[in-house]
Amino acid sequence: MASTTLIWIILTVLQLGCTMHVNEVYQYHGFCLDVLINQMTALQKLDNCTVILGDLKLQLQRTRPRDFVNISFPKLKEVTGCVAIYGASGLESVGGLFPNLMRVRGNTLINNYALIISNMPRLREIGLANLLKVDRGGVIIWPGPLTCYVHSVDWRAIAPNARHVLSGIDVYNPCKTLPCSCTDNSTTNFCWNNRKCQRFLEGPEAERCNPECVGCLKRDGSICSLCRYYTYRNKCLNTCPNGT
Ligand SMILES: *[C@@H]1O[C@H](CO)[C@@H](O)[C@H](O)[C@H]1NC(C)=O
Ligand SMILES: *[C@@H]1O[C@H](CO)[C@@H](O)[C@H](O)[C@H]1NC(C)=O
């Protein structure tokens, strides 16, 4: 099958990457450079990252669900490259680790994909409830036998104009998840799990935000969740001020 071949290509690419990196994270004022982590103890180095300039790759084999209890990086909002999480054997929810990840820019891709989640036998959900936008590149979700809520997400809304590979979970998977109960409109009734509805940038359910925002507070569209263009002194601007 073409997609199986694809997965193997990807795993090979990642594996090569891992042998070349150490588990160091360079961090400056919340900006972290290319993060590649293959040991649980190194994960805490993500603590202060709000933006990762480059890629986020996690490969945490031989982990158990209890290793991930209370492990979360709520500060991380954006990755400018791609995100690849695979082989984290104990991980049950990607969103548990990165509850506020909003944007993956996909400036660098792995075989045209910007978000790759695969090879996690205990994964129950993707759960990236604040993910609004993948600017460039497609999504690969290769769920495990327990993974639910993959097809309940409108991936086309997050990453339009890209090819996605969402493997045939509805066939293998035992989930008897309730349908999303987010809106009465079936074209926008999408969710990440039974508590979190999908957020939208476009369409009838789009958040009404100022144009400088990617996502904003419901009560005030001028308070951005993330800046679309530039951030300067905690404000979102659409051009860089002179001399900055
Ligand atoms: C994160 O920031 C806190 C407070 O500034 C600091 O104590 C801690 O060492 C930082 N952690 C990392 C991994 O850089
Ligand atoms: C997780 O956090 C909760 C609340 O802070 C605490 O009660 C619990 O003991 C923690 N569990 C572990 C395994 O650290």
The CATH architecture annotation of domain 2-183+193-199 reads Alpha-Beta Horseshoe (3.80)
- For the chain of 244 residues, list the mean pLDDT of each consecutive stretch of 10: 58 50 69 91 92 94 94 96 94 97 96 93 94 95 88 93 75 67 90 93 89 89 89 85 83
Q: Are 113 and 81 in contact (CB under 8 A)?
A: no
Q: Which atom of ligand 1 is nearest to the CA of 45?
A: 13
Nearest-CA residue for atom 4 of ligand 1: 48
E-assigned strand segments in the chain? 27-28, 31-37, 51-58, 78-79, 83-86, 103-104, 113-118, 133-134, 138-142, 165-166, 230-232, 235-237
Angle among Cα 121, 14, 128 to the nearest 5 degrees reads 55
**Separation of CA 87 and ligand 2 centre (Å):** 25
Domain ranges of the chain: 2-183+193-199, 207-244
The whole-number pLDDT of residue 218 equals 83
Extract the tokens encoding 108.
């660098």
pTM (2 d.p.): 0.87
- Longest pairwise C-alpha distance within the chain: 57
Q: Are 136 and 109 in contact (CB under 8 A)?
A: yes
Query: In angstroms, rounded to a whole number, what is the distance separating the alpha carbons of residues 215 and 222?
Result: 10
Alpha helices in 66-206 (DSSP H): 94-97, 155-158, 169-172
Residues with CB under 6 A from ligand 1: 27, 45, 47-48
Nearest-CA residue for atom 7 of ligand 2: 70
Q: Kindly identify the ligand whose nearest atom is closest to the C-alpha of 65.
A: 2
The whole-number pLDDT of residue 4 equals 61
Q: Where on the phi/psi map is residue 54: left (φ > 0), alpha (ψ -120 to 50), or beta?
A: left
Nearest-CA residue for atom 9 of ligand 2: 70
The whole-number pLDDT of residue 134 equals 97
Q: Are 199 and 215 in contact (CB under 8 A)?
A: yes
Q: Are 96 and 127 in contact (CB under 8 A)?
A: yes
What are the phi and psi torsion angles at 58 (to 5°)? Answer: -120, 130
The whole-number pLDDT of residue 12 equals 57
The whole-number pLDDT of residue 6 equals 60
**Separation of CA 70 and ligand 2 centre (Å):** 6
Alpha helices in 116-220 (DSSP H): 155-158, 169-172
- Sequence letter at residue 242: N
Q: Which atom of ligand 1 is nearest to the CA of 46?
A: 13
Residues with CB under 6 A from ligand 2: 69-70
Query: In angstroms, rounded to a whole number, what is the distance separating the alpha carbons of residues 90 and 120?
Result: 7
**Separation of CA 71 and ligand 2 centre (Å):** 10
Most informative mutation of 70, 71, 72 for ligand 2 (most atoms within 8 A of CB) = 70
Q: Are 221 and 213 in contact (CB under 8 A)?
A: yes
Q: Kindly identify the ligand whose nearest atom is closest to the C-alpha of 73.
A: 1
